[in-house]
């Protein structure tokens, strides 16, 4: 069998086996106990079957199922244990992910396209013959122009927050719920990853604007104050960027720490 860079845990390896304990009361009110051992590769599937068995029982049977093994303490097969088990098995590639969207990206990725809204998609693909049977993939799906505002409100309904990002020398917006998942997805998307600097995507000084009509950048409003904008113009007189939104790290990268000013008297206060 081939391998696919399967990460190893100090207590979990490919030969780990896990025990399921099934308890129930039979027709004579006698408690029955059965144990089943399953390999690591079948743990997620057997957990789901055990949880279904527990829920399908009659109240008089008092069905319970617990499981335990290397790296996992004894737990009941309930929804809380399911979430924890997913966290353990996902890095090992042992849990398939249903296609889902983990964020939105409003950015100018191509000079010929202008600003486009993308849905950030994540899912898993099967790897036949590998010890790591599932591989998580990420991608961008373009939102149709007449559905852009609907998608913005959809992200608000999901309680996603927005972050200003600096892509292709322009500001943009990233909407996300779990920022670790969203940043990982953007890092894996080739069209976005090439704009990362030292492993990070610079954050732009913009926020989402509900009105989005009178701004230079659609649906975005600068968050930098006017005194700070004037201060940056004094410190970086050769800068051609719009200093209302450009990250200070970009200015420092391209122009150094700049000239001392009233608000920023020395390079130590660059920002």
Give tens-digit pLDDT for 56-85.
988 888 999 999 999 899 999 998 899 899
Domains of the chain: 17-92 (3.30.1710), 100-223 (no CATH), 228-271 (no CATH)
- Residue with the bigger pLDDT between 144 and 95: it is 144
Q: What per-residue confidence (pLDDT) applies to 3?
A: 39
Selection from 83, 88, 60, 86 nearest residue 72 by Cα: 88
Euclidean distance between CA atoms 66 and 73, whole angstroms = 10
Of the pLDDT bands very low, low, confident and very high (cuts 50, 70, 90), residue 267 is low
Is the pLDDT confidence value at 154 over 60? yes
Q: Which two tokens stand for residue 59?
A: 């109240």
Is the pLDDT confidence value at 8 over 50? no
Give tens-digit pLDDT for 248-260.
889 988 888 888 8
Average model confidence (pLDDT) across the chain: 87
- What pTM was computed for the model? 0.72
- HSE-CB at 87 with a 13 A cutoff on CA atoms is 8
Euclidean distance between CA atoms 42 and 35, whole angstroms = 15
Report strand pairing: 31-39 vs 17-25.
antiparallel
- Which range in 27-36, 207-216, 232-241, 257-266 is most confidently predicted, on average pLDDT? 27-36
Q: What is the mean pLDDT of residues 12-38?
A: 92
DSSP string of the chain, one letter each residue: -B-------SS--TT-EEEEEEEEE-TTS-EEEEEEEEEGGGHHHHHHHHHHHHHHS-GGG--EEEEEETTEEEEESSHHHHHHHHHHHGGGT-SPPPPEEEEEEEE--STTT-SEEEEEEEEEEE-TTBSS-EEEEEEEEEPPGGGHHHHHHHHHHTT-EEEEEEETTEEEEEEESSHHHHHHHHHH-HHHHTT-BTTBPPBPSEEE-SS-SSSSSTTEEE-S-HHHHHHHHHH-TT--S-TTTS-HHHHHHHHTT----SS--SGGG--
Is the pLDDT confidence value at 55 over 70? yes
Q: What per-residue confidence (pLDDT) applies to 265?
A: 66
Of the pLDDT bands very low, low, confident and very high (cuts 50, 70, 90), residue 266 is low
Is the pLDDT confidence value at 11 over 90? no
Q: What is the mean pLDDT of residues 114-131?
A: 87
């Amino acid at each position: 069998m081939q391998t696919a860079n399967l990460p190893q845990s100090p207590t979990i390896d490919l030969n780990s086996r896990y025990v399921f304990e099934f308890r129930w009361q039979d027709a004579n009110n006698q408690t029955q106990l059965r144990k089943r051992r399953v390999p690591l590769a079948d743990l997620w599937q057997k957990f789901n079957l055990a949880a279904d068995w527990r829920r399908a029982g009659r109240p008089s049977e008092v069905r319970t199922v617990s499981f335990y093994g290397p790296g996992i303490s004894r737990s009941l097969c309930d929804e809380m244990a399911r979430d924890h088990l997913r966290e353990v098995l996902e890095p090992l590639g042992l849990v398939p992910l249903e296609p889902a969207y983990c964020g939105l990206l409003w950015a100018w990725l191509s000079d010929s396209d202008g600003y486009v809204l993308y849905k950030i998609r994540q899912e898993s693909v099967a790897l036949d013959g590998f010890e790591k049977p599932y591989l998580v993939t990420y991608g961008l799906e373009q939102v149709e122009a007449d559905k852009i505002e609907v998608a913005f409100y959809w992200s608000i309904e999901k309680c996603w927050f927005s972050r200003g990002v600096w892509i292709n020398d322009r500001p943009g917006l990233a909407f996300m719920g779990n920022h670790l998942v969203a940043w990982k997805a953007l890092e894996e998307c080739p069209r976005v990853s090439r704009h990362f600097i030292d492993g990070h995507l610079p954050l732009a000084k913009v926020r989402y604007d509900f009105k989005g009509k009178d701004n230079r950048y659609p649906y975005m409003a600068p968050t930098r104050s006017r005194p700070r904008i004037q201060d940056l113009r004094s410190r970086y007189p050769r800068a051609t960027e719009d200093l209302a939104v450009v990250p200070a790290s970009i200015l420092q990268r391209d122009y150094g720490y700049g000239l001392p000013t009233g608000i920023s008297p020395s390079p130590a206060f660059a920002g």
